[in-house]
Amino acid sequence: MNTADLGLPVAVPSTALFTDQYELTMLQAALRSGTADRHSVFEVFTRRLPEGRRYGVVGGTGRVLDAVENFRFDETILGFLRERGILDEPTLDWLAGFRFRGDIWGYPEGEVYFPGSPVMRVEGTFAEAVLLETVILSILNHDSAVAAAASRMSVAAGGRPLVEMGARRTHELAAVAAARAAYVGGFHTTSDLAAGFRYNIPTVGTSAHAFTLLHDTERDAFTAQVDTLGSGTTLLVDTFDVAEAVRTAVEVAGPGLGAVRIDSGDLLLIAHRVRQQLDELGATKTKIVVTSDLDEYAIASLAAAPVDAYGVGTQLVTGSGHPTCSMVYKLVARADSDTPGTPLRPVAKRSMGAKTSLGGRKWAARRLDADGIADAEVIGTGPVPAELADRQLLVPLVSGGTVVAREPLDAARDRHIAARDQLPLSASQLSRGEAVLPTEYL
């Protein structure tokens, strides 16, 4: 079953209003001035990584493709724009037949990126390309922030499974996108059923403290859960006294108890005590899952603890302190007329401060050293050097308005692991530092 085609409540029938009003007013003015059909190139990039980040992670590309396909102005939307007096009738007529018919290139989802990397390039007429700015940025900024946090947590976990459980800490639709981005970044499962349904991500979940408190005794609660879900379930053991709960859990489920979950207290100390107690009770294969407002730093601090899996919520879905990647969408080249074949010329914003940009349609490649480890992100506007020809990063995503790069989510997840493994070892450091690769311009 392709759940993407079901019209689920976690999707929307049209993304046309996921935009800022000035995109439409620019369109109207460009139509009136005769510049709307000039061939234009927009690029998405960030000028810097969030403080302390060594690399970024491209997340949300697949969602961007869905958004571009669903960017349609139906009668209801056109009626809203007409009633508000936002646009004139010629512009509304133009929007009624709008379909993006240009080309989109980009770093494939799961790839890593650095300051200046042209993460996505949108080409078409000015009119059609400018309309996509806000929706593309809203998806990439959110999903890439979550994917980067997930990647750092995955590195800190050292291969131990990670459960995304942040749905209750964000907007209900953002929760679905966050679970998807977390999976790309290295998480293994999610507690959010909408994300499991929409994107086929494995789901997990057993019980909360409320279930224990519902029953007359902790033993009654454990017995009910084991009778229902089997001895392989995970029992929550920190509602009252942890040691007593662990003892009761093994008595109820037997030594084949699947796991215990600890959600509070000094996790490092308690994990060691619980592991020792489980082993003494013969439950040597029972796993220990920890939750409790974890981030990458807390996960790293538990590296030496006998912890088998981590559940992460708030810090993950908020980008672990950096909920956006500060990506921007800038016009970098355009034709001087709407005549087909008119050459493009570079254009760029020049202003005080750090908000300048580099004009020209760009390519990007990642240079490797003799050991196959990346040593630079190389970006240029001219010919691609022969030695970098097979290291180019941008791939076609949309061609002539048709999506050409849909892929299973696992492909993006596997790509991220491979890309991260090619980075220098210092990429895994959680201490403050600059981007692990320099950006070189040719």
Say yes or no to pLDDT of 431 above 90: no
Contact criterion met (CB below 8 Å) for 162 and 298: no
Domain 20-136+329-413+428-441, CATH: 3.20.140.10
What's the rounded mean pLDDT across residues 334-357? 86
Cβ neighbourhood burial of 154 (10 Å; 0-12, 13-18, 19+): buried
- Report residue 81 as tokens: 């724009």
The predicted structure's pLDDT at residue 12: 58
Nearest to 130 by CA among 11, 13, 60, 29: 29
Contact criterion met (CB below 8 Å) for 38 and 336: yes
Nearest to 155 by CA among 375, 438, 434, 425: 425
The predicted structure's pLDDT at residue 10: 47
Interatomic CA distance for residues 190 and 204, integer angstroms? 6
Say yes or no to pLDDT of 355 above 50: yes
Identify the CATH homologous superfamily for domain 206-307: Aldolase class I (3.20.20.70)
Q: What is the pLDDT of residues 32-88, one digit of tens each?
A: 999 999 999 999 999 999 988 999 999 999 999 999 999 999 999 999 999 999 999
Say yes or no to pLDDT of 196 above 90: yes
The predicted structure's pLDDT at residue 195: 97
- Report residue 277 as tokens: 């107690």
Interatomic CA distance for residues 49 and 124, integer angstroms? 28
Contact criterion met (CB below 8 Å) for 267 and 302: yes
Pick from 101-110, 356-365, 400-409: least confident: 356-365
Pick from 6-10, 286-290, 315-319, 381-385: least confident: 6-10
Nearest to 327 by CA among 54, 41, 57, 102: 57
Cβ neighbourhood burial of 419 (10 Å; 0-12, 13-18, 19+): buried
List of residues 6+ apart from 418 with CB closer than 8 A:
none
Say yes or no to pLDDT of 299 above 80: yes
Q: What is the pLDDT of residues 205-227, one digit of tens each?
A: 999 999 999 999 999 999 999 99
Q: What is the pLDDT of residues 126-174, one digit of tens each?
A: 999 999 999 999 999 999 999 999 999 999 999 999 999 999 999 999 9
Where is pLDDT greater, at 402 or 350? 402
The predicted structure's pLDDT at residue 1: 42
Q: What is the pLDDT of residues 371-397, one digit of tens each?
A: 999 999 999 999 999 999 999 999 999
Using DSSP, state whether 252 is helix, strand or coil: helix
User: What DSSP string describes 353-410?
Assistant: TT-----S--EEEEEE-TTS-EEEEEEESSPPPGGGGGGB--EEEEETTEE-----HH
On average, the pLDDT of the chain sits at 95
Percent of the chain at pLDDT > 90 equals 93
The predicted structure's pLDDT at residue 354: 64
Helix axes 133-157, 409-421, angle to 10 degrees: 60
Supply the DSSP symbol for 4. Answer: G
Interatomic CA distance for residues 373 and 143, integer angstroms? 26
Percent of the chain at pLDDT > 70 equals 96
Q: What is the pLDDT of residues 256-267, one digit of tens each?
A: 999 999 999 999
What's the rounded mean pLDDT across residues 275-304? 97
> Where are the domains positioned within the chain?
20-136+329-413+428-441, 206-307
Interatomic CA distance for residues 27 and 94, integer angstroms? 10
Provide the residue type at 206 as one letter: T
